[in-house]
């Protein structure tokens, strides 16, 4: 696990976008895993400023979707990904995949999403945010570390956190479809971005706590190429900050 500590939230977006553009230009990223939430928005805006035919040729796979929101609902992740990723990066909507939370057979929709990732050759780089409770995608605490794409029940805390996107807290769906932790682990590279003090405890548990379902993001300790890109506030509860800064400064031999 690699930890990069930067000063400001904007620095986090710039750094993560640079890493992605480097991979795209080197031909290493064809399938990009994309996340919703506020955390990756600045990253998408930087990518938008660097639009190119290579970027536009990417295929994208979203992490999750609410159950029961029509794709046309402005807060469905179909709609959010369309606004924030497909349009900004200039992707072909045909190449953008979001789990189907409106399917009558949700189990079949989850299996189809896993099959689509496999058929595309797997995800080359997965962008992640992190919930205050340590969730990635919508894998709530106590998710199986080996889980695959499936239906999950959202915690009340997550519904409260996401109520800001809806007119009323009661409008936040109670269930979602999310890539599993086992699915996310199969991405070849993972970049998790976190900004602000509200994420500090979750980041510290994920990076320095035990590997445990109670902090789903801790599963990234098993990933051979996972990078946490943090601003100063999100990093503030890490006990080994000095070490991470040394590694940043001196790089690898």
Q: Which segment (20-28, 33-41, 101-109, 232-240) binds ligand GLP by CB under 6 A? A: 33-41
CB 77, min distance to ligand GLP, A: 8
CB 165, min distance to ligand GLP, A: 9
Q: Which of 59, 65, 133, 139 is catalytic?
A: 133
How far, in Å, are 30, 100, 109, 132, 201 from residue 198 at the CA level?
Answer: 33, 30, 34, 7, 7
Task: Give the number of residues in contact with ligand GLP, rule: CB under 6 A.
Answer: 13
| Site residues (CB under 6 A) for ligand GLP, limited to 208-227 | none
- Of 32, 75, 63, nearest in space to 149 by CA: 63
| 3-state class (DSSP) for residue 232 | coil
The continuous run of DSSP H or E covering 15 comes out as: helix 9-25
38 belongs to the binding site for ligand GLP (CB under 6 A) = yes
| Site residues (CB under 6 A) for ligand GLP, limited to 151-210 | 162
State both tokens at 104.
Answer: 């009558």
* Count of CB atoms situated within 10 Å of the CB of 163: 14
Nearest-angstrom CA–CA distance, 229 and 203: 10
36 belongs to the binding site for ligand GLP (CB under 6 A) = yes
Task: Say whether 64 is catalytic.
Answer: yes
Residues with a catalytic annotation lie at: 64, 133, 135, 140
Query: Contact residues for ligand GLP (CB under 6 A)?
Result: 35-39, 63-64, 129-131, 137-138, 162
């Amino acid at each position: 696990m690699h930890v990069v500590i930067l000063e400001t939230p904007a620095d986090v977006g710039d750094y993560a976008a640079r890493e992605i553009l480097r991979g795209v230009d080197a031909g290493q990223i064809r399938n990009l895993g994309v996340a919703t939430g506020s955390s990756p928005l600045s990253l998408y805006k930087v990518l938008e400023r660097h639009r190119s035919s290579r970027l536009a040729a990417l295929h994208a796979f979203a992490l999750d979707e609410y159950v029961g929101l029509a794709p046309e609902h402005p807060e469905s992740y179909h709609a959010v990904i369309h606004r924030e990723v497909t349009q900004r990066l200039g992707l072909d909507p045909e190449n953008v995949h979001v789990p189907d939370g409106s399917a009558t057979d949700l189990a079949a929709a989850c299996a189809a999403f896993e099959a689509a990732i496999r058929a595309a050759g797997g995800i080359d780089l997965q962008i992640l945010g992190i919930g205050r409770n340590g969730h990635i995608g919508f894998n709530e605490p106590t998710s199986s570390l080996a889980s695959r794409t499936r239906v999950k029940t959202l915690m009340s805390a997550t519904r409260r956190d996401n109520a800001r996107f809806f007119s009323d807290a009661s409008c936040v769906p109670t269930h979602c479809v999310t890539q599993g932790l086992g699915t996310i682990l199969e991405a070849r590279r993972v970049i998790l971005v976190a900004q602000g003090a509200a994420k500090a405890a979750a980041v510290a548990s994920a990076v320095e706590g035990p590997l445990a379902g109670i902090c789903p993001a801790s599963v990234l300790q098993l990933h051979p190429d996972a990078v946490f890109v943090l601003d100063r506030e999100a990093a503030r509860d890490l006990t080994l900050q000095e070490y991470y800064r040394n590694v940043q400064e001196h790089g690898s031999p």
